[in-house]
Amino acid sequence: AQSVSQHNHHVILSEAASLELGCNYSYGGTVNLFWYVQYPGQHLQLLLKYFSGDPLVKGIKGFEAEFIKSKFSFNLRKPSVQWSDTAEYFCAVNAPSGGYQKVTFGTGTKLQVIP
Amino acid sequence: KAGVTQTPRYLIKTRGQQVTLSCSPISGHRSVSWYQQTPGQGLQFLFEYFSETQRNKGNFPGRFSGRQFSNSRSEMNVSTLELGDSALYLCASSTNGRTQETQYFGPGTRLLVL
């Protein structure tokens, strides 16, 4: 069974600091990887996704993530965070289950950005 | 295009009751997935429906069931509610539910069981 680990449960940063959130997954085959964000009081939104090709993917709002297959990792990065990035971030893996979607989410990382 | 809608947004029930939640996917989307979100367990996959058929199921007891109608709208039912069923229930839709498709999430139904 696939699983996703997000080791940082709560991260506090000052504005302009750099961000890296870890995500590791366990699944031996081809996977599709996602990062979602949930702003306070809002629903889950897709930040970025990796299906194939260039392992460095860019998403919305200046976020990027790098897929490192050998490490089963898909870490999220942003060079300079803003107060508006305060939110909960979820890494997700979509591995085939009979050819169809079965998405497994990490437990989430709460990011608090201090002005 | 209108997004995924879920009704009701909030519900309060007591133990032993049953509840039905509704999800309307984005127009043209035929796959609907349900998730339970709790502070302790995070987001957990409940089941996925496509063309009125359940294709995938997570590790939840049989008290959790669902169905999908011919217009792709889906309902989720929880019978004999327990305190631990208090959670945010999220619905997500995608075109055909293939692994390379993006899922779009609704705002969720927050269920409180007393």
Range A84-109 burial, b when 16+ CB lie within 10 A, else e: ebbbbbbbbbbbbbeebbbbbbbbbb
Are A57 and A49 in contact by the 8 Å Cβ rule? The answer is yes
A98 or A63: whose pLDDT is higher?
Answer: A63
Report yes or no: A105 and A91 within 8 Å, Cβ to Cβ: yes
Residue A64 banded pLDDT, cuts 50, 70, 90: very high
Nearest CA in chain A to B47: A102
Residue B1 confidence (pLDDT): 67
| End-to-end Cα distance, chain B | 37
- Return the residue of A nearest to B92 by Cα: A44
Closest Cα partner for B5 from B26, B32, B33?
B26
Count each helix (H run) and each strand (E run) in chain A, helices first. 0, 12
**pLDDT tens per residue, range A23-37:** 999 887 888 899 999
- C-beta of residue A105 within 8 angstroms of C-beta of residue A88: no
Per-residue pLDDT of chain B (114 residues; tens, 9 = 90+): 689 999 999 999 999 999 999 999 999 999 999 999 998 888 999 999 999 999 888 889 999 999 999 999 999 999 999 999 999 999 999 998 776 778 899 999 999 999
Residues of A in Cβ contact (< 8 Å) with B107? 42-43
How far, in Å, CA of A12 to CA of B49, rounded? 39
A61 touches chain B (CB under 8 A): no
Greater model confidence, B80 or A2: B80
Strands A56-58 and A64-68 turn out to be: antiparallel
Q: For A20-24, A104-108, B63-67, which range has the lowest pLDDT when averaged over its residues?
A: A104-108
Is A13 touching B (CB cutoff 8 A)?
no
Pick from B42, B56, B94: CB nearest A105: B42
